[in-house]
Structure 1
């Protein structure tokens, strides 16, 4: 038998990740297949909440010049795909399918680095880490869906790339609330700081003020 606070007693989550010197934001899979209810995976309430909050975050981030990487997941056909166990992914996550398009509420093709990922993490097989290296990003803010899948994978890769990693709870979403909560709790024990939109906006405000002060 294990005590309810066994993880805490064994020092999990004791040390905060903290904030670095320059933020970057990744936006994971806010494509229409997840954000429009006519599609099999679309319209989950937690995902829609995350979409709305991420749009608010990105509006400020673009105004302040924060680097943003935005991705969807799409394939030319099932032959190109990994072995997805989700029928809806196999049938709709295709370049030729309208559900693969980015949701306009979170996407600015003239500002965002745009990548099409083929695996759960936005970092796997893409040039996002190269872009962030050039931009001298040391703190990655993870937004998007789904928490238990691509957000978890992206957060672990961000950690593995040695970024300070922040996950605003209200800027990520999942199909069900329990996996959302469970995965954030576990990520927060090990790899990331689980924060919220309000504190993330405050971080961007502080960073912007420091940039203006340095330029003065």
Structure 2
């Protein structure tokens, strides 16, 4: 089925749009993914997303936008789901340095930090409860990897009834094709795929409205 076939069946016909209160989730920008010294680290699309997300977060924190960040880590292999990735099983442990959040995106004095056990930042972490307290209705999803934890987070965000934005240049994956394919797919159904500039403009305009 081609893009035209989906369009004829009305996929992607209605934009999600933005709401009254934004929040940002930052998924798995731990050094195991951002630092090339680790087996899963340093993919160019992930590094690009890391730097763009850091720019977005500077704007968000300046305007008091809620930010939730996560890493993935386990006590031991018995606690893990049935991961099929050897590097996850061997390195995503609380005792391993690869699970530290990348300092480019983490502000311990501002961000809510959770450690997740599955793909989605929302799964059994309390992030949705935090956003309820903060009256968030629009979630901007950043982080890695697009085909895994970003997709899982976006689907949970949709299921929790948030308006969901995924800036293409603030998420990344190991290869470009699954990055593009998954963004196209979730953009047809669940989210608005946007970019850093769109999200920055949204946060700035939201802040101006609330300053009046």
Correspondence for 1:177: 176
Cα deviation for residue 5 of structure 1 reads 1.4
Correspondence for 1:201: 200
- Cα distance change of structure 1 residues 101 and 4 upon mapping to structure 2, 3 Å threshold: closer
Correspondence for 2:73: 74
Correspondence for 1:23: 22
Cα deviation for residue 61 of structure 1 reads 0.4
Aligned-pair Cα RMSD in Å: 0.7
Deviations 1:69-103 (A, max 9, x none): 00000000000000000000000000000000000
Correspondence for 2:120: 121
Correspondence for 1:139: 138
Size of the alignment, in residue pairs? Answer: 212
- 2:211 pairs with 1:212: yes
- Cα distance change of structure 1 residues 4 and 123 upon mapping to structure 2, 3 Å threshold: closer
1:47-62 equivalence runs, <5 A: 47-62=46-61
- 2:7 pairs with 1:8: yes
- Cα distance change of structure 1 residues 11 and 212 upon mapping to structure 2, 3 Å threshold: same
Deviations 1:116-161 (A, max 9, x none): 0000000001100000000000000000000000000000000000
Correspondence for 2:35: 36
Could you tell me how far apart the structure 1 residues matched to 2:6 and 2:182 are? Answer: 14
Gaps of 5+ in 2: none
- Cα distance change of structure 1 residues 136 and 3 upon mapping to structure 2, 3 Å threshold: closer
Could you tell me how far apart the structure 2 residues matched to 1:174 and 1:112 are? Answer: 24
- Cα distance change of structure 1 residues 13 and 170 upon mapping to structure 2, 3 Å threshold: same
- Cα distance change of structure 1 residues 142 and 4 upon mapping to structure 2, 3 Å threshold: closer
Deviations 1:41-90 (A, max 9, x none): 00000000000000000011001000000000000000000000000000
TM-score (norm 1): 0.97
Could you tell me how far apart the structure 2 residues matched to 1:129 and 1:165 are? Answer: 13
Gaps of 5+ in 1: none
Could you tell me how far apart the structure 1 residues matched to 2:59 and 2:10 are? Answer: 36
The list of structure 1 runs, each at least 4 consecutive aligned residues, that deviate by more than 6 angstroms after superposition, is: none
Could you tell me how far apart the structure 1 residues matched to 2:211 and 2:62 are? Answer: 13
1:84-103 equivalence runs, <5 A: 84-103=83-102
Cα deviation for residue 211 of structure 1 reads 1.0
Cα deviation for residue 4 of structure 1 reads 5.0
TM-score (norm 2): 0.99
**Secondary structure of 2:39's aligned partner:** coil
Could you tell me how far apart the structure 2 residues matched to 1:212 and 1:53 are? Answer: 26
Could you tell me how far apart the structure 2 residues matched to 1:138 and 1:4 are? Answer: 29
